[in-house]
Structure 1
Amino acid sequence: MTLQLNGESLTINKIKELLYQSDEVSVTDDAYQRVKQSRATVEKIIENKETIYGITTGFGLFSDVRVDEGEYNQLQVNLIRSHACGIGKPFSQDVALVMMVLRLNTLLKGHSGVTVDLVDQLIYFINNRIIPVIPQQGSLGASGDLAPLSHLALALIGEGSVYYKNEEVDSRYVLNLLNRTPLRLQAKEGLALINGTQAMTAQGVINYIEAEDIGYQAEWIAALTHQALNGITDAYHENVHKVRHFKEQIDVAARMLDWLEGSKLTTSQGDIRVQDAYTLRCIPQIHGASFQVFNYVKEKLEFEMNAANDNPLIFDEDDETFVISGGNFHGQPIAFALDFLKLGVSELANVSERRLERLVNPQLNNGLPAFLSPQPGLQSGAMIMQYAAASLVSENKTLAHPASVDSIPSSANQEDHVSMGTIASRHGYQMIENARRVLAIEAIIALQAVEYKDIEKLSPKTYDKYQALRKVVPSITQDRQFHKDIEAVAQYLLDHAYSNEI
């Protein structure tokens, strides 16, 4: 199966399929034609010796400095080399792959003025899984993700490092191995590769995929907790949620009832208590609000995935061609969205930690052993797992500070407001990893708690989940190194993020 790109119709689901099924990409004929037309405009600019930013001039504060005609191509190479100053650990291979796909899709809109050779080089790297090594830090998120995308561009021209067959090697080595010629950058092409938001957007796409999955995973984990605490199902009745109108809340309530259908551990109001604490009773409202966030973020990401966001932009309309310097590289819309995503993720972890606290606290857990210890006093049981979860949610609260409210001027104040969107994307992913581990802790504790209540009384769907998780983590019969269990369950949850399973 091949993912066909045309600059207009790329979706997160298509990216998910690419990552999960190892698809190749191809380009439509009409997209190739747009690339050729925009390139012809660049050639005319060069032929007519026009003064156009980034083609015949320098960059940033040097935008008024005219470059000699014979040095247009060298200007682009110098740009890539000088801007490749990323710092820190590299983005994951998935993020770097998505970054290439997104940059390719942008170029196919026909507003960037690149050559067909550049397009074909990107396709070759994607389809052969030659993945640039791209440091995560160093982008301000305006004027594009300049540093990260420069490392991407370096790989295309045979410089820098790449992952090939999961080994980090020199790009030139891989190209020689595959008998592939490094790309020779032409006028405008270096700038066209790095002026854009593909680093923050690519990491944002991965964030969205994994955050949405955490939202779904949180429901069946919460359903186990609900049964361990003999929770009341009345609060999930559709009438309650329809009168509030939020679709996501209605959907969560319906899914919770589906997970709990057939359980002999749930109760009705008045059986044991009149109403549950908020962390059980308000799952549709709390989780549903996170799904509202995710839906907002998805829309903004898919806009950007199909946007022309470099500078300058080339237009060919009504037999007239013109070039405009603008600011579509500014990451503010995506920065806001990715900061918002952090809030949705943070709350899933917050409420999970409060639920698992109810499971281990003998004052709240409806008769379960304190900390679910097999020998209270001699053995601590799940006591410190709750500490670990509390630490993670507290860390998330610090990471949730919006990166997008910060700005530092750059390029001698020519670029005097920036988005910091890539920081938002990176912090968001840290929060997702933390949230997944909190949910893993709740799952481990809920599995143990339902054993005290009789697993045969579980709903059929959660019983299946119980059986699947018991292959990953055993029952707690004595104290052990629980960090191994937490990591094993977290990995189980991550492994399902791209599989279209709930």
Structure 2
Amino acid sequence: MEKRRFDSMITLTGHTLSLQEIKRVCYDNERIEIAPASIQKVEKSRNAVKSIVKNGRTIYGINTGFGKFSDVKIDEQDVNELQQHLIRSHACGVGEPFPKIVSRAIMLLRINALIKGYSGIRMAIVEQLTTLINEQIHPVIPQQGSLGASGDLAPLSHLALVLTGEGKVYYKEAVYATKTIFDLLGIKPVELKAKEGLALINGTQAMTAQGVINYLEVETLAYQAEWIAAMTMEGLNGIIDAFHPAIHEARGYPQQIDVARRMNHLLQGSKLVTHQGEMRVQDAYSLRCIPQVHGASWQSFDYVKEKLEIEANAATDNPLIFEDGQTIISGGNFHGQPIALAMDFMKIGIAELANISERRVERLVNPQLNDLPPFLSAKPGLQSGAMIMQYTAASLVSENKTLAHPASVDSIPSSANQEDHVSMGTIGARHAYTILQNSRRVLAIELICAMQAVEHREKIKLSSSTSSLYNKARQIVPSIKEDRVFSEDIERLTDWLRETDFSWKISP
């Protein structure tokens, strides 16, 4: 997505963070500050922890061990050391790190949860996280290792390590030891005190951050799918009557109605679409049912958006401190099940956009299903044209089907069966992101084929909207005059789709 600069600063309250504000911080590197009222809440909550330690009250995570060790009392002089041991031992993440933009979102969401005033941490911790965001220092956080309850322990431990000067960070496009960058910029490591290690790692911010990035990208992708499908309609002389408002109002789903309305808008003025009975009575489902299928995917994305907006402003650590420390309750807000289910639903919604796109690709290249040159080849037989592009699309959608298997239905007990049901929400969020990347490539393939088809039809007859899309995309991928290495075309167009937000209009 194209980066923009904002003169303003996002003020975090713990309660009002929107997905658009997350987008501004993560994609546009907008700076953040903490609302004064939230600072007061943090300080009150911290005073409660101080009182607990001083008075010797036994409270989980403050002066006890963790998980199965919750019955082990920790002496007052050891409570700070307990926190450092916690994050080092829990920093067991493996595999490739999260993208920097996800790491940035994790920090932002962690701050927003901590400043609600239920976690008992010092402002020094919040200030350190704020500095990292504003200085664009991003912890290197391995993607694998979270069960999604008790929250994202392993990923968030790698974040916590950085606050103390350990671990690794991204800075100016390279990876460094955290200490190197802290020394360079004069940032002092923090020393974790009672409860702070647990407050930092007990939460759902890794799965939620990845989920937010997924949503922000898939929202754009879903609009792009409509633009590309509109051009495919023209390439196949599709029947526009299928988008008549009465059909969709008769069913009543708002998202379906909206897709049909946008398809009509995109195809307005086109001389390539047809009406029923002119060439045929009805189209195949992959054309006729675009509003029904795409609309259902939009339903899943709307559901996901609602859950992400709630979770982005939620207190998800444990225990939580209420009434200035008079009430401290161990609960289960760290359990990622709401986000796990949302991510699994999102996976299906994205995968279906790719599934129906691949079927449209087949209709564009298969000479038994259209009157276009076989496989859109410039010289059928001598040249294969788009034949293997359809293979690639089929491979990607097949991979998506395996990744779309719900992660949330799996659970493996941990911590000697104390933590006997977990969400696997972070796995779901990660798989959703992979499905998203695969689906963008499928749509890139459809766009390549659709452009080739409308050239055969006479591109001058395109609608003004699809003509604009054609002109922009042709700057990325030229017309197919003879066979070439199409992998490069697919990847270039995929990158262009990733960076181009034509959610409604493309400038001519």
TM-score (norm 1): 0.98
Structure 1 residues 442 and 499: CA distance shift in structure 2, 3 A: closer
Contact 1:141 1:420 in 2 (8 A): yes
- Secondary structure at 1:295 match in 2: helix
Matched, 1:368 2:372: yes
Q: Distance in 2 between matches of 1:353 and 1:405?
A: 28
Q: Distance in 2 between matches of 1:414 and 1:65?
A: 14
Q: In structure 2, what is the equivalent of residue 42 of structure 1?
A: 49
Q: In structure 2, what is the equivalent of residue 104 of structure 1?
A: 111
Question: May I ask how many residue pairs the two structures share in their alignment?
Answer: 499
Match of 2:332 among 327, 331, 339: 327
Match of 2:304 among 286, 297, 300: 297
Q: In structure 1, what is the equivalent of residue 346 of structure 2?
A: 341
Q: In structure 2, what is the equivalent of residue 426 of structure 1?
A: 430
Contact 1:8 1:306 in 2 (8 A): yes
Q: In structure 2, what is the equivalent of residue 351 of structure 1?
A: 356
- Secondary structure at 2:411 match in 1: coil
Contact 2:339 2:425 in 1 (8 A): yes
Amino acid paired to 1:471: Q
Matched, 1:257 2:257: no
Q: In structure 1, what is the equivalent of residue 475 of structure 2?
A: 471
- Unaligned regions of 5+ residues in structure 2, if any? 1-7
Q: Distance in 2 between matches of 1:23 and 1:500?
A: 25
After TM superposition, give the deviation of residue 501 of structure 1 in Å: 6.5
After TM superposition, give the deviation of residue 500 of structure 1 in Å: 8.5
Amino acid paired to 1:9: T
Contact 1:353 1:393 in 2 (8 A): yes
RMSD: 1.1
Q: In structure 1, what is the equivalent of residue 4 of structure 2?
A: none
After TM superposition, give the deviation of residue 321 of structure 1 in Å: 2.1
Amino acid paired to 1:356: V
Structure 1 residues 63 and 501: CA distance shift in structure 2, 3 A: farther
Instruction: Map 1:87-98 onto structure 2 (within 5 A).
Output: 87-98=94-105
Q: In structure 1, what is the equivalent of residue 3 of structure 2?
A: none
After TM superposition, give the deviation of residue 497 of structure 1 in Å: 4.9
Q: In structure 2, what is the equivalent of residue 380 of structure 1?
A: 384
Amino acid paired to 1:299: E
Instruction: Give deviations 1:142-164, integer Å, cap 9, x for gaps.
Output: 01100000000111110000001
Structure 1 residues 63 and 500: CA distance shift in structure 2, 3 A: farther
After TM superposition, give the deviation of residue 272 of structure 1 in Å: 0.5
Structure 1 residues 202 and 500: CA distance shift in structure 2, 3 A: farther
- Secondary structure at 2:321 match in 1: strand
Q: Distance in 1 between matches of 2:501 and 2:463?
A: 23
Instruction: Give deviations 1:33-56, integer Å, cap 9, x for gaps.
Output: 100010010001011101000100
Match of 1:409 among 408, 413, 418: 413
After TM superposition, give the deviation of residue 20 of structure 1 in Å: 3.0
Amino acid paired to 1:469: A
Instruction: Map 1:14-413 onto structure 2 (within 5 A).
Output: 14-316=21-323, 321-365=326-370, 367-413=371-417
After TM superposition, give the deviation of residue 19 of structure 1 in Å: 2.5
After TM superposition, give the deviation of residue 13 of structure 1 in Å: 1.2
- Secondary structure at 2:33 match in 1: strand
Matched, 1:5 2:9: no
Q: Distance in 2 between matches of 1:20 and 1:309?
A: 25
After TM superposition, give the deviation of residue 22 of structure 1 in Å: 1.6
Contact 1:72 1:186 in 2 (8 A): yes
Match of 1:449 among 446, 453, 461: 453
Q: Distance in 2 between matches of 1:245 and 1:18?
A: 37
Amino acid paired to 1:271: E
- Unaligned regions of 5+ residues in structure 1, if any? none
Q: Distance in 2 between matches of 1:262 and 1:159?
A: 61
Contact 1:210 1:497 in 2 (8 A): no
Instruction: Give deviations 1:81-140, integer Å, cap 9, x for gaps.
Output: 000010000000000000000000000110000001001001000110110000000000
Q: Distance in 2 between matches of 1:450 and 1:255?
A: 20
- Secondary structure at 1:461 match in 2: helix
Amino acid paired to 1:238: P
Runs of 4 or more, structure 1, over 4 Å off, are 497-502
After TM superposition, give the deviation of residue 499 of structure 1 in Å: 8.6
- Secondary structure at 1:88 match in 2: strand
Q: Distance in 2 between matches of 1:195 and 1:411?
A: 14
Structure 1 residues 195 and 6: CA distance shift in structure 2, 3 A: same
Q: Percent identity?
A: 62
Which stretch shifts more, 17-26 or 111-120?
17-26
Contact 1:209 1:497 in 2 (8 A): no
Structure 1 residues 307 and 361: CA distance shift in structure 2, 3 A: same
Structure 1 residues 311 and 60: CA distance shift in structure 2, 3 A: same
- Secondary structure at 2:440 match in 1: helix
Q: Distance in 2 between matches of 1:92 and 1:388?
A: 25
Amino acid paired to 1:322: T
Q: Distance in 2 between matches of 1:10 and 1:496?
A: 25
